[in-house]
Structures are given as C-alpha cells and as structure tokens.
Structure 1
Amino acid sequence: MKRQLPARCALALLVMASVWPWCAESQNSNGDSSRYQNFMLYPHRQAGYAALRAGDEHAAIAEFTKARQLAPQSVDTALDLAEAYRHFGHPERAQAVLNEQLHYTPKDARLHAALSAPAAPAVDCSRDNRPVCRAKRGFADLQAGDVAKAETELSAPDFARSPEGLTLRHALVQRAIYLGDDQRAETQLAELDAQGQTSVDERHQWFTLMLNLGKFDAARQLQSRGGLDAPEQDLAMALAISSHGDRKLLASYMASRQPVFTSEKDERQWVNLLAMAAREQPALLDHYTARYPANATWQAQLSLSLAMARGDHAVARNMLARLPAERFREERFDLDMEQGGYAEARSQAEALIAQPEGYRLLDPLSYRLLEAGATFEAKQLLLDAYPFAGNPHSAALFSRVAVLAGQQPALFSPDDHARLRRPLESMPLRIQQLHILGALRDCEGIRQVMADLSPDYPAESWRQLGDCYGKERPGLAEYAYAEAGKRSFDSETTRALAYQAYSTQDYETALQAWRSVPAAHMQPADLIAAATTALTIHETAVARSWLDTYAAQGGKKDGNYWWLRAQADEPHDPALARNDLENAVALQPDARYYARLAALQSQAGDSQQALISLQHASALAPDDSKLAASLGYAYLQAGAPDKAVVQFERAHQADPENAGLTRQLLYVHQKLGDTAQARWYATQAIDQFDAASEPSTDGTDGNASDQDDQRFALRRLHEDLGRKWSFNADMSLGDTVSSAANTAAPGVSYRSYAQLEAQYRLLSGADTNTLAAYARLFAGSDGSSAVWPVHAVMLGVGLHWKPLISQNIVLSVEQQTPASNNRDTHNDTMLRASGSWSFGPKLTDDWHASGWGWFTQNFYVDLAHYLRSKQSVLTLDYRFGLQDKLVQGQTIEPYVHLQYTGIDRSQGLSYTRDARVGLGVQWNLWFGETRYDAYPHRFSVAIEDQHAFTSYLRERNAVFLILRTQW
C-alpha cells in the first residue's frame, strides 16, 4: 500500500468512476445514442459543425462520418451526415443515409421530416404560395444556405401556422443551433413559445442538441422556460458540462439543482458528478442526501477519498462513521496515521494483514509506521508476523527489524529477546535472525543461534560470534574470528583475529594474522599492536620493520614508541636500546621504561645510574611490589641494607603472599642483626610453604623435594635464629690409647675421652652467630688401663668469633684451668683457628628432608697454639659417609674417616705426627622438631676401627665406641 494519493490522482479516478457507468448503458431502442456514446461523439460533431460553418466540405463530411461509425444506429448522427451531404449538394447521398436510418428508427418524427424536406411537389412551386410550395422553397433555400430567404417564407401569416410552416420553423431552429447562431435560435424559440407551437419532445431534442454543442447557457435558458426540469434533464446537463471539463460551471449548476431520482443508476451518476464538482465545492458531495442505500455508501466512499486527499479529517471521520467498521481499513489506517493515533493505526494494520493475502501489506504498513515515528507499534506489528513465513518481502522485513533494533534496542522487551533467540529452521533464516540479534547486541542470542557452529554461516555471522565471546570466552572468540577470516579475506576481519589472538596469548596466530594485513591497510595503532605482538615472541626483526613503517607513516613517536623500539633494538644493540629508553623517559616518564633502563644500566656496569633509574620507577609506581623489590636488591648491591629493607617491606605490604619477598626480608633482617624480625619472617615463609603444598615424604617428586628441602632449611634457620644457648657433649671409649682424642687436648693421649660444652651467643650476623662465649669441661682416662674418661679434668672458658659471612671459619681464645690435681694438667691460654667445609649444602651431616638418604662430607682444619706450654697442634680431619634413612629422624651411616695430627712441642725442635684411617658405622637420631623449628637435638652412637699409618704412639690399631649429643 502506497502513501495517500495526491489530490489530482484521486480526482482523476473519480472522473473515471463517473464516466464508467455510461459504458454499461446500451443504446436506446429508439436509436438515440447512449450518454457514453454522446460523450464519445461530442468532439467529432463539434468539429463537423465548425467545418460546416466554415464551408469545409471534406472536413465536415469526414467528422460526421466518424461520428456515424461510432453510433451507426443514432438518429442524430444520421441527420448530421445527411445535412452535410445536402449542404454541399449531394442530395442522393443524404437520401441514402436517411433511408438506412429508417431500418433502426422507423417512427422518428425528425427522420420523417428530414426525408420529406427535400421532396419537391409535382407541381411547379416557383410561383405557387401554397404552404407546401413555401415549405419546399424554404427547404431549398436552407440547402443553398440562404437562411434569410427561408425565413422570408415564414413571414406569410397563413404559412407560419401551417404544419408545413411549423416544420420549416423547427428546421430553422435546429439549423441555427447547429450553426451556432444563438441569437437567431433564441428568436425562433421565442416566437414558437409565444405561439405555443413547440412540444416537450422537440424542446428536449433541442436541449440535447445544445448540450452536445456545448451551448450550456442556451440550454439553461431553454430549461428555465419550463418543461425541462425533470431529474433526467438535470443529469444530462451535468453530464454535458462534465464532459466539457468545466468543474466550476459544473459545481455552480449542481448547486442550483436538487433532483430526486427515481432511478438508482441515475442517482449514482449524479453522485459521481458531485464528486467531480467537489474539488470546487466539497460541501456539494459531503451534504448530499442519497435516496438509495447503495448510493449513500458510494457517496460516503467518494467523499471519504476526497476528504483524505484534501486533508479534511473531520469530514473523513464523519464519512467513515457511516460505513461498516470492517470496511475501508486502509482509509481508517491513513486517517489514524494523519492524526497521530498510532495504536489505532496498528489495530487497523493488524486487521488488514489478517485478510486473505493481507500479509503482503506488512511491508508498506510497517514502513508507514516507522516513517511516522511510531516505532513501538511498528516493532509490535513486525514481531507479531515474525519470522515472516511465505512473505515475498521477508528479506526487507528482517532488515527493517534489524534497523529498528540497532536504532532503538530499548524497545525490545525480554520476551522479545527470548523469541528472537530461538533458532529458526533454515540457514538463510538464521542468518537473517543473526542480523537482528547483532543489531540488538544480544550476544546470548547469537551464541544460541550459532550453537551448532555450522560451516554454512557467512563471515559476518562468525564476526558477530567473535565479538560476543570476546573476553568472556577468548578462545572461542579467536576460533570465530578465524572462521570469519576463512570466508572473507578482508583486512578488518584479519585485524580482529590478530587482536583477539593476542588477548588469548596465542601470539603465533596473532603475528601470522598481522603479517597477512598489507602495511598500507594498517592504521598507526595497528602497527603498534603488531610490533607489540612480534616483541612478545621475540621476533625483533619483524617488530623493527613495523616500527619503521609506523615512523614512515608519520606515527607519533611518543614514549610507547621508544619503549617498543628499545625492546626491538636490545638483542643486537643494547646501547641503542638504552638510548631508546632515555628518549622514552624524556617524553613520557613511565615506571616500566625506568625499570628496563635500570636493567640495561646494570648490565653495562653502571650500578649507580641503575639505582637512580629504579628510584624514579618506584616513585612513579609506589604500589608496584616488583619495582620495590628490584630497588631493594639495588640497595643491597650498593651496600645499603637499611634502605633495602624499607623497599622490601613496601613490596611485601603490596604483595604479602609473595614467598620470595618474605624470604628476602628474612635474610636482610638477619644481615642487619635483627634476629627477632628475621625469625618472624621465617615463620611467615614456613606458613607460605605449608599453604602452597604438603611436604613430600618419599622424595619422588622433584619439585616437591626441592620444596621440602627449602622448607627444612627455613625451619633450621628459624630454630637457629631462636637459639641463644647450645650444649654439646661427646665421649669416645677405646680399647687402647690413641691420638684420636687429641683434638680436644692436644699433646695428651688417652684411651677414652669426654667433653661437655655450653655456649651462649652474644651477637648474631647475617649467616650465623658472630660472637659467642663458651665454657667446657673435658677429661680423659688415667693411663692406658683406665676406661672411663674421668681423670685430668680441665675447665676451658673462652670466646668464639666468626669473622667471615661466607666461610665457616672460627677464631677462638680460651683460658684453660685444671679442675683436679693431676701432674699432666696446668693453666694455659689457647689461641685457636678452625674451619669446616662440606663443599655443598647437599653434603652436610644435618638431616635432609627429601630423598631416601644422602652422602655426607666434611673437611675440618684446626690450628691451636698454647701460650704457656708453647705447643702448637695442627689437625686435618676428612670424613665421608652415607646417611641411609631408617625412619623419619633416624639414619644409619657407614663412613670413612681420615685424620692427620701434627704436634710441635718445642717451637720447631720436636715435631710429632699421627696419620690414620678409620672405618665406622654410626646411628643418628634427630628429635625435638616443631612446626617452625627443625630438629634442635641430635644423638649419635658410632663404632669405629682405626689404623695408623704413622704415629708417635706405640699402638697402631684401635677400636672406639663414640657417643655424641647436641642440645
């Protein structure tokens, strides 16, 4: 349905409506032409009359012949053609036309008058004045065109009133009307009226002739004389005026007439003519009261159309009220639209669509609603018909819904979304459905429709699916973009794939996508993204190429550009990368730039500048724990642990779950001598290990084993940091005298030996205690026969000092005092230097948390000098064993023991030595552990067989039972 027709189109249709009924009228039985024929004949007859007046024989006869062909049984056309033949001197041809007409209208008076008019009496009437002769001469004069001479014949009183005179007078009237001599015709008519010598039929014939000739004023004057005021004459006059095309005259005439028709057909024509006149005077049609119901309905229809055309909504409403409610829904729709009644218009549209074949109207009706701004009504109308099955305009309707969804998504309710999400039956329909869901940005709907992931979906649909998955399901989003790229090789799709692949960390795919986009099609932001992708997977050459293109295109060389350029340049030219980063921080200070610059400066050996850069970075990102930690390490490297601990604390506050930071704080506080704080961080580190994983018990898992070892090391450190007192006791019982006991009392050899030591830490350093006070009691067996070491008891009191952090070297000074009366004991002062090395943490003799066991190794060096006795003793001791775990905290240890002892008794004048090897087996027990402390106590029992290769003693072989404990 189109929009409302222009007024001139509506009126043209009304003209056709008013003319069409003529076509249905058959020719009258008396040979008169129908009204429709008169309408068709009029131009030819008019042209014939004009040619007749002008004396143009050929044109006059041709026009009247055409009129005769259109109405071959009409008396009017016969008389016209016969008159033309007679006028131009062809009486025999005129006679033939009239004789032919006798077959159709044998009783027509005008035909008989015409037939008798040219007939000459048998007598010579040249001088005879009888009526018949006067009539003959008068008709002869008419044929010769001498009207004045013919009128002279009528001057005779006796002739004018005779039947022959009346016939001639009537012929003169008709002749005057034909020739357009209105004044002469009026004069003749006045005389006839005055004499009462005209009949109604004759007046009607002349009235009709005037109408045919367009003599409307003359016809109205003739009608005013009476006798021609029947509804049929009113209708004829109106029809004639309408055929002339003078609507103003038609309106004026019809306004003056109020005919009451006895024929429904005539009234219908009058209504049609009113419709034509309504353009000048609309009220003529609007206020007319039809007699017949069908005509009343027809009048309402015509008035409705005209009122709609001219925008007279009040009249249109009034006319619609007269018509059945189920009819003229299009007009009702138009009127509702004009007046803004969109809800009512939608109701009319729904009724129109419900009619047979009405679905075809959905397209224009919804378009009209949208164009008028009735978006809600248009949406409801469209969704009521969704998915437009069988509608030839379904594609346009889908597009219309999509456009509406894109412009006003808020119009669509949750129920609308639910309906639009249900997948349609066929692939073409689902593709159209996806356009709507895409316009609505309804990702849930798009995912539901494309749940089958059919390969038949076009690139656009895959693009929509990719947009919808986005960050929520990045892997599927990348898949969707890849599928879109397979179907459409456009740069936009490839660009979307590249960005999505990067977000899913599929850098290889992202790089491949960027490489397939021509550089000319890449925006500056794309070039930066492509370079970033390449750098992520260390394709620095590719990244430099894109950065060069970016610069060539005039891209902004901001801090980010120089940051990327530095990463691209660093592998082949670190100095250039450093220069790039200096450009970056100069343009745009950024913590990342400073941090990387610091790394390059540190690599170049410029630690001071690296520290300054890290200070800038940390100031820009005070909450960045990694930067704070890096700055802490830099301060450590610069020898400022007090500043380092501040940074580590700041980093730890930002990231308290970072186990590395916790342990670093542990070590830094230990280095600063803050044992309490170091022990607190050790506790935190152990908690973090416990939260991360359970310790391994079988050692089969390498990572778990490492964690167990680290956890044990932390527990050992926690235990050691909390220790102030230490107690050691050891005893060896031998079967003979040996130098094995001389490590405690050089120069004195015993069969058995025992020692008890108590130690108190005064100061603690970064690795272990650095200064400790101690006291010990030691004794041996008395003579070779004694077994128990209870003789020659000595008390030693002194200090241990550990001067180096990285080496286990201890310097001691000890004052020794006899605790019993024995000739072999005396007061003395011992100066001592000792060192112990295991050559790796895995070879220590402390408990190992992981594994089935471990190898142990220890190399001990001891040099002691006694001031009073002036003796010096050198001890070299190497031990290698295998600790085999029995159960948790217990091992059995077979071992090899090598020992060398050298004693200088008289300042180089007397030197004795003892070198021996021992084989033994030892049972070890560790105990007393807690959640945070490793085993603080250890008890060992060993049996060792020794053989001396060289010795200052008499016995070369010995067997010992050795007991040791640490508390």
Structure 2
Amino acid sequence: MKRPWPTRCAAALFAMAPALPLCAAGQQPDSASRYQQFLLYPHRQAGFAALRANDERTALAEFERARALAPRSIDTALDLAEAYRHFGHADKARTVLDDQRRYTPADPRLRAPPPAEAAVDCKVDNRPVCRAQRGFDALQAGQLERTQAELAAADFARSPEGLALRRALVQRSIYLGDRVRAGEQLAALDALGQLGPDERAQWFNLLLLQGKPLEARDLQARGGLGTPAQDLAVALGLSAAGERKALADYLAVHQPAFDDEKDERQWVNLLAQVGRTRPELLDLYEARFPANAAWQARSSLPLAIARHDDGAAQRLLARLPKDSYREERFSLALAQGRYTDAREQAEALVAQPDGHRLLDPLSYRLMDAGAPDQAQRLLLASYPFGGNPQAGTLFARLAVLAAKQAAAFSAADRAQLARPLESVPLRIAQVPILAALRDCDGIRQVMSDLSPDYPAELWRQLGDCYGNERPGLAEYAYAEANKRKPDPDTTRALAYQAYGARDYATALQAWRAVPVEHMKPDDLLAAATTAMSAEQPGVARAWLDSYAAQGGRQDHAYWWLRAQADEPRDAALARTDLENAIAQHPDARYYQRLAALQTQAGEARPALTSLQRAAVLAPEDDKLAAQLGYAYLQNDAPEQAVVQFERAHRANPDDPKLTWQLLYVHQKLGDNVQARSYAAQAIDQLDAGGTGAAVADSAAQDEGQQRFELRRLHEDLGRKWRFNADMTLGDTVSSAANAANPGQSYRSYFQLEGQYRFDPPWAGADINTLAAYARLFAGSGSGGSVWPIHSWMLGVGVHWKPLTTQNIVLSAEQQTPVGGSRFTRNDTMLRAAGSWSFGPHLNDDWHAAGHGWWSQNFYVDVARYLRAKQTVLTADYQLGWHHKLADGQSIEPYARVQFTGIDRNRGSFQRDGRVGLGVQWNLWFGETRYDAYPHRFSVAVEGQHAFTSYLREKNAVFLIVRTAW
C-alpha cells in the first residue's frame, strides 16, 4: 500500500539569509553542497507536490532527477526511496537505500524498518515510535494540530522520535507559511536544549519575517548568529520597526566587515539614519569600499555642518582628495566667512561638466551670506551665461548687484556689459543691467537694432536715454513702450502721433487708456475725432460730453463731431447737430451728411437740395458728383443722374461701382447701346481684378458667377431676335402642360417660335416690355400618333411684360389653322403666365461657380380661348439638381408636381394632377468674351403618374427635346 510521505524539506526562508541550508530533516549533515541544494530545491518541491497529488509519474521523475544531480546525498536517497515505497515499488526503494549506505553507513535514517512480525497497533499504543507514526500521519494529512497534540506528551517530546517529529513539524510549518507555529516549535526545541545551528538560523529568520527584530537581536546575542549578513538583517528589521534608539544601540556595538559593497552601503545608510542623534557612529565607521567611504563622508558632512562641528567636517574632508567634495568645502568656507575661498570653490564647481547649472544657487548663497562682491565676480566670470537654463535669473541678479554697488563695476566690466549680445532675449536681459548702471550709451548701443520684441520697460528706458537729443527716435520708443505697457504721458503722445498717421485703432486704444481727469479740452476733442474715425460713436459721445462739461468751445467742429456721434443712436438729433454746424460754418461735408440722413428718412427732395448746395461748395468733388447722381435717380431724374455719374466716372474710370451704375442708368433710359458698352467695361474691370457691384441680389456670388451675369446681360442687351423650339414624344395621351396649346391633351406635340423685341421709345421702360412673335405648332392628332405632325396651327401675337421686377408676361394671340384640318379652327387666346425661381442662385441658367447647383421653377399659366369659351389653368413646380459634366454642360435629375384645370364652359371643370421624375441633359454653347452662352439644347426623359385625371391613362413616359437660340 502507499505509505505516508516524509516531511523533511522546507521552503527557502527569505532573501536576507542566503547562507542557511535549504533542508534540515535531521541532525546529520547532508553530503550535498550548498550549490547542489540550490539546484535540488525546485525538483524536490515539485516531487513533494506530485506526491501529495498521488501523481506517480511526475513524483518519481522529479525525485529521480534530484538523485541524479546529487547521487551521494542522504536526502535525495530518502526522498526517492520513500516515493518508491509510497507507490508500491519496495524493491526499488531497498536498492536506493542499499546504494546510499556506501556513502553514509552510520546515518540512523538508513536503519531497516522493523520486521512485520514486530509490528504493533500504533492507533492505541503510546510508545514513542507509535506517537511518531501518528504524528507523521497527521503531518501528511495536513493536520498540524494533531501532530502538535502528540508532541504535548512530555516523555515523547524528549525522545529521539519526538524530536524528529517536532523538527518535521517545523519544516512542514515553514513550507506551509505558518511562521507562528514554526516559531513556537523552534522555541520548544530551544527550551529542550535541542536547537541546532541551522534551526537557530531558521528561528532567527522567522523572527525577522514576523517583524520581531528585538527578539531576533536577543537570539543573535545568545550566540551562533554573528555573520555580517545577520547583523545587517537585524539592523534593517529595527529600522523598519521604527526602533531608532534600539537601532542606534545595536549599530554602536556591531562593526561588521562586509564582503559585499551593497550590504555595506545599506549599513552606512542605517548609520546615517541615526546620525542626528548619534553622529559619532557615522563619523567613526571605517568603510571598506571607496564608494561607500565617499557616501559616508557625503552623508556625514551635512550633519557635521548643520551642528556647526567644523572640526568633524574638516576631519572628514581631510580624508578625501582636495578636488573632491567641493560643494561641501564651499558650504564650510561660506559658514566660516571665508568668502574668497568659497568663491574659488564655486568657480571650480562651475568649471565642472554641467557645472553651469550650479551658478544660480552658488551666486545666490554668496549674496545671501553677505558677499555681493564675490557673487559679482563669480557672475561676471561666466557672463553672458550661454546654455544656462537659469540665465534669466542670473541676468536679474547681476542687475540687482549693479544697482546696489555700481561703483564696484570697473570700466572693463561696463564695456563687457555694453557689447550687444547675439539674440534679442539676451539683449532684453542685458539692458536692465545697463539701466542699473545708468549707462545710456550702452543702452543705445545694445538696442540699436530697434527690435519689436523688446518689452515696454526697455522701450521706455530707450526713450529716456534718447531724450531731447533725438526726439523722433524718442517718440518712436515711447510709442513702442505704450504698445506694451502704457502710462498717461506716453499714451497721450502716442495718441496724437497715431492719429496723424491715420492709425485710428491704435490712437483710439491710446486715448481710451488715458483717464478723463488727465485730459484737457483739446485732448477730449482729439479723442472724439479719433473715436469717430475708428467708428466708435458711443465712445466719441462720452468724450464730447466730458468736453462740454469742461466748458469746451461749441463751434462748428464740435457740432460736426456731435452729429457723427449722435447719428447711430438718434438720426433726428444728428440732423439738428448738422444744422447747428451749417449755421456756424457751411461746409460741403456737413451738407453731404445731412443729405444722407434725409435720404434715410425718405426725404428724397430735401436730400437732393442739400447735395446741390454741397456741390456748389465743392464743384470738383467727384465723390459728391456720384452721390448727386444717386439723388437724381431717387427723384426720378435719370437724365440728370447720368450727367453726374459720367462726371464721376471720368474722374474715376476704374471704379467698377460707377461703371455698374452707368450700366443701370442707361438701361433704364432705354439706351441699350450705351448700356452694353458699360457692360463690356465692367467685364474688362472684372478681368483686370476689380471688384464690382453685384447684379440685383447676387452680391454674394463669386467672381466667376458675377462675370457670367455680366456676360448674360451684355448678350441680352444686344439681342433683337429670339427663336426656340421644343418637342415632346409620349407613350400615351397626357395633359402635360404645353406652351403650344394650353388645355389640350396630346400624346406628342411640337412648337417653333420666333419673336422680335422692340426697344421702347419712352423713358423708364424695361428692356423686356414689348415683343411681337409668331409660332407654328402641331400635335399628335386624334389618333394619338407618335409624331406631332397633325393639326398644324399658326399663332401670331404680342408679349407684354408690365412689371420690371417680376417675370410675368401678358399675351394676346390669334391662332389660325394651317393645312385645312377639320379638327382645328380659328380662335383668339388671351394668356397670363408667370415664372419664378425665387432667387438667381436657383434659376435654370448656367452657373459658373461650383460643381453644380439646385434649380427650381414655379410656373403658372392662365389662358382664355374667346371663341371656344374655355379657360385653362396650369400650375407646375419643378426642382432639379444640375451636375456639371464640363463647361456649358450638365446632367439634371429633377422632379415635378403639376396641376391642370379646364373650364369647358359647359358646367364642368376637369382636373388633372400628377407628379413626374426625369433626367435631362443640357448643353449651352456659343459663349464669347463678352457674351454668355446664347444657345441651349436639352434632351430629357420623364415619367409621370396622375393621382387624379380626367384621362384614361394614369402613367406616361415622355422624351422631351428643347432648343433656344
């Protein structure tokens, strides 16, 4: 059967005791070396774990591997034999033990087990061997309390079997991490006088692991535990437990000689911990390693200096090379008042690699200790502190020294400080030093580049240095200073200068920075003028109120300013102000402003009178001529307006606004030739880079679209004849709106129209007022033919556009049959049609800007046939997106909603409502430099569905072809 597994091997205790053996199963030493034990440990632990899990293969493999690594070790032999017996391989176990007797024949653990016939029932027998068996069985089952109960018997506890069981319990407890139980058992062994050296070391380590450094110290003091590593472990434990006094006492009586530099460094650190209370411990300790000796001195010196023990500090430094610990030597010299020596040590420190970083604290400490002359010499030796991250602080410190003891700076020092440094930031830091020395020549030399990066203080300093010698440069310097940090005096000077240069924003900012109580009446008037020039009427009113409150003279200049300031808030009050100004001194500017206010109030005639009076005072003012032209237009006098615009245009031929205005006025007068000429000029100005006024509401369009609008206008102004043709081919009869014969249902239809536009002979007429036209149209006939070649009709009539701002056309047309069809007859059609796209950006004409555009059109048509006595109403809304394919070419998906109503004068009203979807290809062509595309060709395919109709078919598909030229 499987036997209980032996409990002999424990886990490694902890890292601070590497010299302790890993296994302590009995009192006989193992023949394995410490290195072999280190190699064996993981295999034995894995074997025991497999043994507990009854994993035969793994357990035997691990114990056999351990045996191969240490073939003479008693522990590996016992482990492997026990594993063989546990898994029923008694012969193999006997062979292993026989082989081991060759190396350790006297080891009692190799004694043969008692014969079977000598076996007793150990469950009830209390002999030591039975108690041991029961204890080991309990130990194997993990029942450590039962094992401990067996050991409670006094006669058994002192027997060899009891001692072996107790030691096994110790190791098992260590293995399971039960440090308390392990410590109790080791204490029991100690009480029995059976505590061996290895077990003493285990107990020592357990006490440290349990945070009981005082007990570990006492155990060590009893002997057998005096290695440097153990001394260090106790000291570290006392430090971790906060036992500072006990630590100091312990360090005082132990002087371990460490073989490891890191261990010695820890010991020195512990000495430093108690250095404030027991400094002699750190001072007197003799470190074996040079690095630790240096660390000891570095740790001890601050303590010696802090307690003003100069003798101890000197002794510590005397042990070290003179070129070492210069910072400590500097501190000691500074504390003893040896400032020259301190500066020499500081210079040596600064000369070291990266020593420039110490210049700031070293110079400060010299100043703080009362040695500013030495700090000055130290700083000047490193001036201008290149590459030093604290350069700004060092410059400032040198400026403080210059202010305190300017006489200490020699001529050579001043010449060195007055040489301009290579960068603006360095010069910014350099000038305060020269200012502290009152060296104006040096300041002018350093700031001769007049860099805009200089701060306000430096510009003010430069202005002070220039004084009356160079007033222009002084004024410039004060202006620069005022930009950065204004004060009342320099701000006032800046305000006057900036206004004279027409830099109104800067002038206004300067005036607003001057408190009103520091401003004289002339200053207030100048400030108000500046505010109006900067378009700040509210600010101007406040200053004018202060001016009046101070008793300033209210002459025409005051009222002129007051009118400008009051206008945005109260136009009526501004008119009163202007009238007061004109009463004191008539001026063209006053009349012009009064005319503008009169125009805003809708008083066109008084505004014209005011401008006429202004023109008398300033007959050469071309801007006034343009204003007068606008006033004539508002008073319906385009003939006089065009004279004034021509006069202004001659003075400013490149002004696109005047060109556009002349285009508009000549168009209004019906002079298409002149209007077309100005349209060409506007195109030329736009091509040359000018910015013109936009056509109608298209002010926001880009330059390309504006050029296209001009070309479209130029083309339209030069056109007399216009022709268009359109054809629709459908798959069924539909009431689709058709311009040929409203109200008629066709499958297909065709129309060809030509019209001639008349130039109106009367003034003020619109260019599209009257046109005569003739058209020829036909349909699919009563048989529903595919081709629109039936029932030809000729229509002759006139179009009249009564409104200039709306696209509404009234028409009268006489229709006559052509070809003698019996389905046609003479009739007279009166028609009113309107079309709206609701903005030029949504019309159906070519758009020069962008990759495409949305277009929409709402068309309403009402036609009355006098002879047939029927009325037709058509309403059609279409929305489409033009996607540009190339210049002058687009593809347009679109949707439409259409309603047709027919009153046949027989008491019935027929309705047709439908929706449609289609896609259309558009081609514009014939563009020139001055004319937009005069021709257009379109092909569309459209499907329609009637949601209500008087026709039989609800769905229809059309092919639509249109052209215009």
TM-score (norm 2): 0.50
Q: Which structure has the greater CA radius of gyration?
A: 1
TM-score (norm 1): 0.49
